[in-house]
Amino acid sequence: MYNYCTLFNSSYLTRGVAMYESLLSTGADFHLYIFAFDNQCANVLKALKLKKITVVTLSEFEDEALLKVKKDRTAGEYCWTCTPSIIDYSIRTFNLENCTYLDADLYFYSDPAVLIEEMGTNSVLITEHRYLPEYDCTKNAGIYCVQFVTFKNDAHGMKTLLWWKNACLDWCYARCENGKFGDQKYLDDWPERFDGIHVLQHPGGGVAPWNLMRYDLDSKAFSLVFYHFQDLKFLTHEKIELGRYKFRKTDIKRLYKPYIRHLESIADKLEPIGNGFDYHGTQKPAKSLLILYRDFKRWLEGSYNVYKKSELLSE
């Protein structure tokens, strides 16, 4: 059995539940530790009584070191700060042999055990961004993506995890500074800094908007394990933005439409529990001349991916 952990709050709840249900649908043998980042999220998750999960509340998880830095960081920066801490908490509290962190907006199409098994006797698994040239943000965002990161509970794994945890407590902000960015740039030199690091080779792990055009999802030779629905936003006036990348029509039909239908079905299921609470985290788009110019430029480039929700819910 493999152990996974993730974190999200109530405005990301539909994505987190969809990630869990997609993992369950693969037939994977797993347990998922969900760190609920607000009380509403924790209460709903407990009410759902999902199989194969343990809900961990902030009051259970937060320690003095985290609370000390929390006031100095935005909600997003604090989530990044907590990423290595939730892995460490899961391993130590539940005496796990291994634990893999998952971003809540991942979605599984086959059992991710194949990815973890690829690391063999190594202690840490990391995943490259594999940017397409036109989206290359390696300089700022890093070589590796903190979306699927595995640590074994052994000497090399825990040494790396503790170093990362302390680094994020010391500095973890949404800006580039002295070669750092959030929790992510710290991974850049791990293959040289630490022993037992394995960089994922399986092409079906780490597929995301910034590299999707590399892959033919309909090819029998390609096996998609998970897709990262990064930058998808629910907007006011029943609109959805898929992100600021170019997509093929087949990608929207194969990936995005089924995913959004799944999110909507979860929202419907949560309606009686949440009394109308917005578990999609719907955003009101910012308005400025600069934003309008950028949107127009994206439209010309074919990357203005704002749709009416009804378009994406249709077959």
Q: Residues 156, 245: one domain?
A: no
Using the 3D structure, point to which of 145, 179, 199 is the last residue of a domain: 199
| Count of domains observed in the chain | 2
Flag whether 127 is in a domain.
yes
Flag whether 221 is in a domain.
no
Q: At 54, is the pLDDT very low, low, confident or very high (cuts 50, 70, 90)?
A: very high
Residue 271 has pLDDT above 90, yes or no: no
Q: Residues 11, 143: one domain?
A: yes
Question: C-alpha angle with apex 249: 244 to 252, nearest 5 degrees?
Answer: 65
Q: What is the CATH number of the domain that holds 103?
A: 3.90.550.10
For residue 303, count CB atoms less than 10 angstroms from its CB and return exposed for 0-12, middle for 13-18, buried for 19 or more: middle
Q: At 288, is the pLDDT very low, low, confident or very high (cuts 50, 70, 90)?
A: low
For residue 133, count CB atoms less than 10 angstroms from its CB and return exposed for 0-12, middle for 13-18, buried for 19 or more: exposed
Flag whether 157 is in a domain.
yes
For residues 125 and 200, the answer to whether their CB atoms sit within 8 Å is: yes
Flag whether 207 is in a domain.
no
Domain housing 135: 2-199
Using the 3D structure, point to which of 140, 173, 199 is the last residue of a domain: 199
pTM: 0.95
Flag whether 45 is in a domain.
yes
Q: Residues 248, 306: one domain?
A: yes
Q: At 38, is the pLDDT very low, low, confident or very high (cuts 50, 70, 90)?
A: very high
pLDDT one-digit tens code per residue, 108-149: 999 999 999 999 999 999 999 999 999 999 999 999 999 999
Query: Is the dihedral angle over the CA atoms 220, 264, 47, 95 positive or is it negative?
Result: positive
Q: At 283, is the pLDDT very low, low, confident or very high (cuts 50, 70, 90)?
A: confident
Predicted pLDDT at 203: 97
Among 84-93, 105-114, 274-283, name the one with the lowest average pLDDT.
274-283
- The average pLDDT across 242-266 equals 95
- Report how far Cα 28 is from the mean position of its chain's Cα atoms: 19
Collect all residues with Cβ–Cβ distance below 8 Å to 61 and sequence separation of at least 6: 35, 82, 85, 86, 89
Q: Residues 156, 37: one domain?
A: yes
User: Cα(8)–Cα(190) distance, rounded to whole angstroms?
Assistant: 26
Q: Residues 178, 110: one domain?
A: yes
Taking CA atoms, 261 is separated from 18, 23, 264, 282, 311, in Å, by: 10, 17, 5, 16, 11
Q: At 172, is the pLDDT very low, low, confident or very high (cuts 50, 70, 90)?
A: very high
Q: Residues 193, 244: one domain?
A: no
Collect all residues with Cβ–Cβ distance below 8 Å to 257 and sequence separation of at least 6: 312, 313, 314, 315
Query: Is the dihedral angle over the CA atoms 272, 273, 274, 279 positive or is it negative?
Result: negative
Using the 3D structure, point to which of 156, 173, 199 is the last residue of a domain: 199
| Residue 171: closest CA among 81, 95, 255 | 81
Flag whether 281 is in a domain.
yes
Q: Residues 178, 309: one domain?
A: no
User: Cα(224)–Cα(202) distance, rounded to whole angstroms?
Assistant: 9
User: Cα(218)–Cα(205) distance, rounded to whole angstroms?
Assistant: 16
Q: State the DSSP code for 253.
A: I
Flag whether 160 is in a domain.
yes
Question: C-alpha angle with apex 201: 198 to 203, nearest 5 degrees?
Answer: 145
Q: Residues 180, 303: one domain?
A: no
Q: Residues 116, 53: one domain?
A: yes
Flag whether 222 is in a domain.
no
Q: Residues 20, 138: one domain?
A: yes
Percent of the chain past pLDDT 70, that is, above it, reads 94
Q: How many Cα atoms within 13 Å fall on the side-chain side of residue 223? A: 8
Q: Residues 94, 242: one domain?
A: no
